[in-house]
Structure 1
Amino acid sequence: MKTSSLLFCFAVLFLAGCKQNEQHKQEEATKFIVTTPQQKDTLIYQEYVSQIHSIQHIELRALEKGYLEKIYVDEGQPVKKGQLLFQIMPVIYQAETKISQAELSAAEIEFQNTKALADSQIVSKNELAMAKAKLQKARADLDLSKAHLGFTQIRAPFDGIIGKFNDVRLGSLLDEGELLTTLSDNNKVWVYFNVPEAEYLNYAAQRKTDPHASVKLQLANNALYDQDGVIETIEADFNNETGNIAFRATFANPYRILRHGETGNILMPTPLKNALLIPQKATFEILDKKYVYVVDASNKVAAREISIQQEIPHIYVVSSGVQPTDKILVEGIRKVKNGDTIHYEQQSFDAIIRELQKLKAE
């Protein structure tokens, strides 16, 4: 009998110990961390889809009809102002120039003879005037022939980069005005983007205090372009259909990374006074609404809806729902429900953000 009682006591003690052990392990497994929102002046960036244009982007066309005799450049090649790009077969235009030169020589001889006769009053002044007009026409015809001959050489009007050839090959018969390729000067680029009316008004107010505020350009691979841009022009009218107004920013492009037709996102800075910041990690979503768990003085958690004003890496700017003195749950959100009492560890806002940045970098 005594043996049975002792065994029963040992069993009870063993089970109690196991239960305490399990509870202790669960508490260790669920680590609750809270922090307080941070309130400070913050710079946020409004994002706008943008289109990149070369400041100088032109079409190169054949000014004369003829066979394409030589191609001196390749697609994508940088060229200098005045560099020879294409040569149209000049034989016909060279012949026309020689004819014009011969006609000019004949007109000069005729004019000199007529002038000598007019000085001797053998011919009238009208005949001299006609000979002079004929000479002037011959000179003009020669200038025109030389111009046509010059048009057989297509040169770069400025420094730039050659675009794609428009199905032109050596020996192609070109019509007058036929497109050969494009030329872009990418030393500087214009970046166009559209801004809604409310954000335009915010920008206009900000510009009064900071007229030279710069903007950033996020490229298609999400990398930030290493040169800041400056907003130089704003269109005169709003688009009635979209409610937007067009902005144009200018960016230096010393390494020719930006090309005509490229896309990206303009990041326009907007300063916020006394913005209330919380870690994105502290939020959860129910039916498209954002919530946080707030811990009260008795360590009870309560879900509270918040309004997000702006999103920046790892951080939400909150417009309503929490106060700077609130304690919000960051770790263990999925392990609690409304009314639960928790034991927590408090960490600073900056420490939590540093840890999140470190994890992302890894």
Structure 2
Amino acid sequence: MKYLVTGVAGFIGSQVVARLCVLGHQVIGIDNLNDYYDVNLKLARLEKINPFTTFQFLEIDLADRDGIATLFKEQQFDKVIHLAAQAGVRYSIENPMAYADSNLVGHLNVLEGCRNAKVKHLVYASSSSVYGLNNKVPFATSDTVDHPISLYAATKKSNELMAHSYSHLYNIPTTGLRFFTVYGPWGRPDMAPYIFTKNILEGETIDINNNGDMWRDFTYIDDIVEGVIRIADVIPKRDDSWKVEEGCPASSSAPYSIYNIGHGSPINLMKFIEAIEAELGIEAKKNFRGMQAGDVYQTYADTQDLFEATGYKPQVGVSEGVAKLVNWYKDFYK
């Protein structure tokens, strides 16, 4: 099977590629290697996967309409796993145009490529951020998600709507995955698990939002990768009996699906910090502060539909996952 993976120098993308190559697939990976965070980390991820003989890296920006169109025309992919995006809730408040270029224009270019190349299945990254002001937990894909509280979340909700329109108009099977707080080795430097580990090791203060009264559905990277790989083989089909008035928003008469992909058991933020402290053997210097713009109090994934579709449930608990994150960080940064 020939795959395109976008965002291949990213945290999730690089590890999805490694798994696909181990399984014997041919993979073309693209990334624009932007400087949103340390490019050296992105290059190190690429260095880790470059030895796979069935992998080829191409530096392309998703917003490059002609470049993406040419890529799809020349390569004729069977499936696409679209993980590239401008990430970060807080960054979207300060730099909104970056999200329009990558998350909206880029997503549209991928959809157009899939349409013209008649791709068998597009799997793309959405986000738990789409649940916005929802208070009911666990978050279920049957919930309405019309009230995002950051532009990042709004672009991810837009991606789902755009995908549905292409599934409906052109019969392209699309599956959106709402990721819940992914962490582990090779993680993103702008995310709390990485920041906490770095600052505690360096004796710097860590900022703790909402005075520590926050809950996150921390999901270890290996569990995420396994879910992504498995769902790529679960291709949505048309369902002409589906009706808007009666059907779940995560499905459609079109070949379209949405799933949560998370651990399904939220952890209090302070408990997560305590796990890092225990693994490092260092007590953190803490600065307790209020809720920050764009933050949500709790994330909690209902993943039953993903389990029913793939037969897989996350295996890695916080203690094990934090130990692997800390050990990687110490080794990578010496």
TM-score range, shorter chain: under 0.3
Q: Which has the larger radius of gyration?
A: 1
Greater relative CO, 1 or 2 (CA 8 Å, sep 6+) = 1
- The TM-score, its normalising length taken from structure 2, stands at 0.18
